[in-house]
Amino acid sequence: MKFLVSLTAGLLSVGLAYASPAPLAKRAVSTDGSCGGSKGFTCQGSSFGNCCSQYGWCGSSTDHCGIGCNSAFGQCTSSSATSKPATTSKVLSTRAASPPTPTPTKNVSNDGTCGGSNGGSTCSGTSFGNCCSASGWCGSTAAYCGSGCQVGFGNCGSNTGAGSSSTSKTSPATPSVTPSGSALQCLNGKNVPYKMTSDSEYAGLVEPYNLRLPYKPAVVVLPITNQHVQDAVVCAAQAGLKVQAKSGGHSYASFSSGGRDGAMQINLQSLQTIQLDQGSGVATVGGGVRLGNLADGIFTQGNAAVSHGTCPGVGIGGHYTHGGYGHTSRNWGLAMDQVVAADVVLANGTLTKASSTQSPDIFWAIRGAAESFGIVTTFYVQTRAAPSSITYFEFTFSGIFNSKSVFTNTFLHIQDVAKNASVVDNRISFGIYLDGSGFSLSGAFFGTVDEFNSGVKPELLRTLPSAETTVQSMGWYDYLVKVSGESTIKTPVTGYDLHEDFFAKSVTVPESAGLTSKALGDLFDYLKTAGSVQYYIIINLYGGPGSAINSKDTNFAAYVDRDSLWVLQNYGYGGDSIDFINGINSAIINAQPQTSFGAYLNYVDPSYDAATAHKLYYGDVVYSRLAALKQQVDPQSVFWNPQAIGA
Ligand SMILES: Cc1cc2nc3c(=O)[nH]c(=O)nc-3n(C[C@H](O)[C@H](O)[C@H](O)COP(=O)(O)OP(=O)(O)OC[C@H]3O[C@@H](n4cnc5c(N)ncnc54)[C@H](O)[C@@H]3O)c2cc1C
Ligand SMILES: *[C@@H]1O[C@H](CO)[C@@H](O)[C@H](O)[C@H]1NC(C)=O
Ligand SMILES: *[C@@H]1O[C@H](CO)[C@@H](O)[C@H](O)[C@H]1NC(C)=O
Ligand SMILES: *[C@@H]1O[C@H](CO)[C@@H](O)[C@H](O)[C@H]1NC(C)=O
């Protein structure tokens, strides 16, 4: 993948390329703690410290300001440099006497992880803090720098203080407990319900939807009140544990289990409020509600409906904060677009109401990157009157995979129709499903069967191979059940137990480019190499005339996918499918090197490193705004997963 190669090259140059630096005053001040390198940020005046270390990180310790300090990107002579405390350990004195050599033997952590089991990165000189905790996280509180601190991967004892408890301050050398032990003590002290790894309920609670990625949280918190969530976040921050909320648990990357072992999972299964205000149509919805129960609740209470995806087990917490596409999205917008306010617990434990008028920055950020900024305990969602009926349609084609030209021409015709304003408006949406033999198209139309059969169907099917067709009018609730693929949309509040073992990724296709005949031909050839891999591709229509999705921009929310015609989901069963699925993306992307494809946040792909994920999911402009806000509201990266903002 061409764009990935150049991205990696850009990454490697960070901290290495210092050619002809611009005058200090003209440089942009670092907002993410990095300096020098290709971005050329200066530390001068940054919140991380004024000195740019030889590894490209801002700080104010002697490791930043001493030998190797990169004076072109910050003031090495500035008085802000703090020397090591007199009472430092032998390890520190040794380091101070012989500063790091120009060729570092250890990589500096760029994602907050460190230590032996995490690739051996050091915390020294990072914005996360200089100490590598027993569980492999960089930080600067007693929980990181005290007992269990991994001396080989950071400066234990160099920057204890902030946030450390008085006991550990007075006797920093006294071994206390592990980070998870100290978190449990803290939770006990505040009467917050939780399950630990030895509890019998633990295994069932942590089992993610994607069984391929079964991470083990250090503790599962089971809040009943907002205060429990607030207390748990404070306990995690003090103990040096990373936090992720779990709503429906359907993250493709199991990020609600932390995205790696040892996190605090805050399971929102008790936050199940669904309350429709009949006057305003705004529904108050708990952060742990699943989509099926949401749809059922608001319809039962007041014939209301709201836009979201089809699978009833998906949670509001992930779905409504990372897009959220369903058949209603071209008419009503993405799931996210209907959130009018949210109650959010921030990294310091504060509960804040976020909306376009209150904490608007947080409101902007949680719609795109909630997992990095807080925990939404309650969503306020603008519903609408459910249509009395909706037209559901499904065309199952035969023989599409018999020849490359049939496949390519079929898709190109559907693509023409998708852009044809005399056929398509906001009232229609559809997706294509294909798996190397089958090829079908299904969707919904906010209009009558007669209108569909006269205005849409003939042009859609014109020139295409024969199809079995279904076009039927359905009541709203029956339609929801039909597309759910289940016999009911109601889902159990506890003990949800549907799972798959899979790898999936996405491609967003800009409307200006579409898919070319070459890309489709290459895709056809590539799919013929599947062998025994079980996979499918779903290609959903996002753009086209009248699309409500694409009527918004990045001022509205931290969500960039507002100009796609199609969004592809490439899904393979089992870990053995990974190479093949990656190859689907490559086949398309390599065929259109001039097109800038992106990726869809709700199909989060664990195979990307953080920098690639940030680029594909947010692009540089939105990402840098998010990174600056992250530094302001969660400087210790309490909310973290391997692709989180700041990771
Ligand atoms: C079977 C299936 C069908 C799907 N169908 C669709 C579809 O039709 N349309 C579509 O657009 N997508 C669909 N998806 C993708 C789905 O939208 C995402 O996987 C979504 O993010 C899952 O939300 P969740 O709450 O279940 O996930 P979780 O795993 O609980 O959470 C996902 C991420 O969001 C964070 N998070 C969760 N809750 C909160 C909260 N309250 N506050 C802050 N952060 C939170 C988590 O920490 C994690 O990082 C489907 C996925 C599956 C597995
Ligand atoms: C540092 O990172 C590079 C690139 O990820 C890796 O190849 C190398 O092995 C790492 N070095 C150490 C000492 O871990
Ligand atoms: C758009 O659809 C109409 C039928 O409604 C058809 O006559 C016309 O040829 C189509 N235009 C294109 C560019 O395909
Ligand atoms: C918590 O963080 C928010 C966001 O940074 C800030 O506005 C608020 O004042 C903080 N609260 C406390 C008690 O520090």
**Which one of the ligands is nearest to 600 CA?**
1
The reply to whether the predicted model has a pTM over 0.85 is no
Under-50 pLDDT residues of the chain: 1-25, 78-104, 159-176
Query: DSSP character for 21?
Result: P
Give the ligand at the shortest distance from the Cα of 413. Answer: 3
Give the closest residue (by CA) to ligand 1 atom 51. 250
Could you tell me which residues are beta bridge partners of residue 379? 285, 342
Ligand 4 atom with the shortest distance to the CA of 359: 7
Q: What's the CATH class of domain 390-474+500-605?
A: alpha beta
pLDDT at 364: 98
Q: Rounded to the nearest whole angstrom, what is the distance from the C-alpha of residue 350 to the centroid of ligand 4?
A: 6
From residue 601, how far is each of 89, 323, 477, 558, 569 by CA, in Å?
45, 7, 28, 11, 11
The sign of the CA dihedral 205, 209, 214, 219 is negative
pLDDT of residue 100: 34
What pLDDT is attached to residue 396? 98
| DSSP label at residue 582 | H
- Residue 119 Cβ inside 6 Å of ligand 2? The answer reads yes
CATH number among 3.40.50.720, 3.30.930.10, 3.40.50.10490, 3.30.465.10, domain 274-385: 3.30.465.10
Q: Which of 16, 107, 121 to mutate to test the pocket of ligand 2 (most atoms within 8 A of CB)?
A: 107
Q: Is the CB of 256 under 6 A from ligand 1?
A: yes
For 232-263, the pLDDT digits (tens) are: 999 999 999 999 999 999 999 999 999 999 99
**Ligand 2 centroid to 117 CA: how many Å?**
13
- 240 contacts 226 by C-beta, under 8 angstroms: no
CA distance 421 to 90: 74
What pLDDT does 56 receive? 73
Quote the DSSP letter at residue 245: E
Question: Is 164's C-beta closer than 6 angstroms to any atom of ligand 1?
Answer: no
Domain layout of the chain by residue ranges: 8-181, 183-267, 274-385, 390-474+500-605
Distance 344 CA to ligand 2 centre (A): 37
CA distance 480 to 498: 19
CATH class belonging to 183-267: alpha beta
Give the number of the ligand closest to the Cα of residue 415.
3
Ligand 4 interacting residues, C-beta cut-off 6 A:
346, 348, 350, 632-633
**Binding-site residues, ligand 3, Cβ < 6 A:** 416, 420, 422-423, 459
CA-to-CA distance for 191 and 186, rounded, in angstroms? 9
Please count the helices (runs of H) and the strands (runs of E) in the chain: 19, 22
* Amino acid (one-letter) located at 111: D
> Ligand 1: which atom is nearest the Cα of residue 498?
1
Atom number in ligand 2 closest to CA 121 = 14
SS (H, E, C) 76-144: CCCCCCECCCCCCCHHHHHHHHCCCCCCCCCCECCCCECCHHHCCCECCCCCCCCEECCCCEEECCHHH
Centre of ligand 3 to C-alpha 455, Å, is 11
* Cβ atoms 77, 25 nearer than 8 A: no
Percent of the chain residues topping a pLDDT of 70: 86
Show Cβ contacts of residue 368 under 8 Å, excluding neighbours closer than 6 positions. Answer: 321, 322, 336, 557, 558, 559, 560, 601, 618, 622, 626
Ligand nearest the Cα of residue 15 is: 2
Is any atom of ligand 2 closer than 6 Å to the C-beta of 107? Answer: yes
Asked if residue 120 has its Cβ within 6 Å of ligand 2, the reply is: yes
